[in-house]
Structure 1
Amino acid sequence: MRPQTAPPRAARIATWTYFGLNGFAVGMWVVHIPNIEHATGITHSTLGLLLLVLGGAAFAGMQVAGPLVDRLGQRRLVPAAGVLLGLALFGPGFAQTWWSLGLTLIALGFANGSIDVGMNAQAVVVERGYPRPIMAAFHAMWSIGGAFAALIGAATLRAGVPTPVTLGAAGVICVVVSLAVSRFLIEATAEEHEEQEDRAKPPAKLVWALGGLAFGLMLAEGVANDWAALQFRDILGTSVSTAAYAYGAFAVAMTVGRFLTDRVAAVVGPAAIVRYGAAMAAIGLTIVIVVPWVPVSLFGWALFGLGLAGGVPQLFTAAGNLDPRAAGALMARVVGLGYVGLLAGPALVGGLAHWMPLNFAFILPVVLCVLTFLGAPVLRSRSSVRS
């Protein structure tokens, strides 16, 4: 254990800012999807294919950005990705055809994947300067950024502000803020690299294990994002306005949970957070499946969100600390596999829903949460904890 120096507070605030900015940018795109769909004249099915293009570009951005983080450092990569994200945000608002929208979404997805890996790698470096876990709070800031985007987007849409103007303004904010806070970012110290020289290279199976756990947890999160409201409307027969509370309960519980996770992780350790959080999530979604009563189902979605809140940040921290010399590349694999789960979950549940009631299709994420519960002790490996 190396001696503790003063915590890098400025870098912590800057990293918070990038997480919030990323959530804000993604949220601004999401709330304007209906307007963009109308402006380009595309169908729902075409939009679905273009969203897959967006996801594929994000995955590619992660795999490119990972090695670049290790080669160029976070202080160069993260601001550059933030600027690229801001510039890419202009595109969808000006798209008039399916192919022009597709091109802009390739740029948007690539930039989003790049900043995702870069800011998580920076968060790991910042966390090493603290005597306690702080990763989950960064992820909570991403949720806060998305909430601000929803509020601002709703206000501008209600006021009739043209989509290109709103997305353009959001893009300018991303560029300006990314450049303004970049000087506060930090790099891994030479001492940290020297410490790693005495440690064995992390086994590939450990990296894949962390990625598999991230896949399962983020698949479950994706299911809640896309199907929670529909479960209320189609299975419980609620109104559309009431159905919105299902996702709201999940999202609020997850955000609150992420702000609380770090303090709990400091006491019980990351393996316990992942393991018992997955168990809590499995219980919550099981309640949603078997209890057809709105108040209890709301509780189930909230418990599901609370259980999922802390797991992914622990996995990203573990990946980033496996080898500081290759932290970006290792995180790109784990973050990338998690992102694949986030994209795949809604589609897989949608396919199962063709053959069974929607709530029964939720058995898939329940099973993955149970498998995560069983696999979480991998975080106790000496290779996956900080020195």
Structure 2
Amino acid sequence: MERSLRAARAATYVCFVLNGTLLGAWVVHIPAVETRVGIGHAALGGLLVLLGLGAFAGMQVAGRLTDRLGTRVVVPAAGVLCGASLVLPGLAPDPWTLAGALLLLGFANGCLDVSMNAHAVHVEKAYGRPVMSGFHATFSVGGVLAALAAAAAANAGLSPAGTLGALGAAGIAAALLTARSLLPGTPAAADARDRERTSAASSRGGARRRIAVLAVLAFLVMLCEGAANDWSALHLKDVLGAPASTAAFAYGTYAAAMTAGRLLADRIVARYGSAAVLRHGAATAAVGITVAATAPWVWAAFAGWALFGLGLSGCVPQLFSAAGHADPAAAGANVSRVAGLGYLGMLAGPAVIGWLTHLTALNHTFLLLTVLCAATAAAAGILRTAPDGRTPPGGRTAPDGHGGADHAPATAHGGH
């Protein structure tokens, strides 16, 4: 069992890298596809909304299928679909075809996103200790791999469609090769009595209310992430007058800090608990974005964006993990609800900031993110215990609120 569990964890890492690579491959080819189809920025923006809508739909479908069929079936199927659909935007000859291609790619990406997170919850439950943040860190690695592959392909004279097709084929192969290593579904640690207790909690409405709160928090956190993705570089360029080459590093600084934080977050969760990570992380993010918003110098803005990324780094993994542990029999559906609303927040973030710039200066709009981070920190206590009073991996187990490795089950079979 220990060997198979290690294999399942390794396969989950591959799935997260795969998702990051496939999505990153599309992102780096957006300019080439825009030129090929012959559309402007405004039309492209509308088409990208379809990608988001497709992803949201895929998340809802995958959540239910994962609970019904198991992650060993849904994760590789979603990976194959995502790899196969990656080439379609590169082949689209007109906007209408591109719209359909983006809907399908978004749907496939949403399916893979939710199913792999549900599987990560099962792996974490089987380990009996926090491992979710490490999985999310490797998603960023996939984006880097996609950028490197695209650059190498361009230097070799390969067309965008050829590059997307090659990366998609590699993704299909990776999804199929890792399928046998995945856990079949709900881990063995969730026995019949565990299911009865969590189902009873759900029927009382405890789990449902908990999922609703987690989903709202995911919306707030991912709205902040979406705002940083699209506005950090423009902040340095338009507000502080930094050259475009320097301004581009604002997002890089934010993303690097987030990746580093996620690589460290699992150990911090094991030591202090997931509620502490969410609370102090969101508070750190609030300080960081306030520093960025009020910074009179470029170097101070860089420091603010780094703090913002570091603070947010552990928030989403803990929210997804808590959603999956709320009811093991419905892990997929619960993760899909939290991830789905969170994804809508990420899509809304750039638009909200853009709308507010009609009312005030860009840097002043970031103070809204300060408020959202503070609200998230205030609500972090939702992660302390499961609906039935048990403590999930990374929850607070000690009287002083400090869960730790010493409090986690010692064997790989440990559950809640």
Aligned to 1:143: 140
Q: SS of the residue aligned with 2:129?
A: coil
**What is the distance in 2 between the residues matched to 1:254 and 1:74?**
27
User: 1:212-249 CA distances to partner (integer Å, 9 max, x unpaired)?
Assistant: 11111111111111111111110111111101110010
Aligned to 1:198: 197
Q: Equivalences for 1:228-247 in 2 at 5 Å?
A: 228-247=232-251
User: 1:123-148 CA distances to partner (integer Å, 9 max, x unpaired)?
Assistant: 00011122421100000000110111
Q: SS of the residue aligned with 2:379?
A: helix
Q: SS of the residue aligned with 1:133?
A: coil
User: 1:261-315 CA distances to partner (integer Å, 9 max, x unpaired)?
Assistant: 0000001100011111000001000000111211111111111000000011011
Give the TM-score, by structure 1 length.
Answer: 0.97
Asked whether the equivalents of residues 318 and 385 of structure 1 are also in contact (C-alpha less than 8 Å), the reply is no
Deviation for aligned residue 1:159: 4.1
Q: SS of the residue aligned with 1:382?
A: coil
The answer as to 2:70 corresponding to 1:73 is yes
* Closer, same or farther: CA 182–121 of 1 in aligned 2, 3 Å: same
Q: Equivalences for 1:279-290 in 2 at 5 Å?
A: 279-290=283-294
Asked whether the equivalents of residues 72 and 179 of structure 2 are also in contact (C-alpha less than 8 Å), the reply is yes
Q: Equivalences for 1:179-218 in 2 at 5 Å?
A: 179-186=176-183, 187-194=185-192, 195-199=194-198, 200-201=201-202, 202-218=206-222
**What is the distance in 2 between the residues matched to 1:333 and 1:112?**
16
Q: SS of the residue aligned with 1:287?
A: helix
Deviation for aligned residue 1:154: 2.5
Asked whether the equivalents of residues 193 and 325 of structure 1 are also in contact (C-alpha less than 8 Å), the reply is no
Aligned to 1:103: 100
Deviation for aligned residue 1:367: 1.1
Give the TM-score, by structure 2 length.
Answer: 0.90
Deviation for aligned residue 1:156: 2.4
Q: SS of the residue aligned with 1:321?
A: helix
Asked whether the equivalents of residues 63 and 333 of structure 2 are also in contact (C-alpha less than 8 Å), the reply is yes
State the identity as a percent.
52
User: 1:62-85 CA distances to partner (integer Å, 9 max, x unpaired)?
Assistant: 001101000000000000000000
The answer as to 2:41 corresponding to 1:37 is no
**What is the distance in 2 between the residues matched to 1:218 and 1:67?**
23
User: 1:164-184 CA distances to partner (integer Å, 9 max, x unpaired)?
Assistant: 100000110111110011100
**What is the distance in 2 between the residues matched to 1:241 and 1:160?**
26
Q: Equivalences for 1:334-353 in 2 at 5 Å?
A: 334-353=338-357
**What is the distance in 2 between the residues matched to 1:330 and 1:226?**
28
Q: Work out which of the residue numbers 5, 12, 22 in structure 2 matches 1:8.
A: 5
Aligned to 1:123: 120
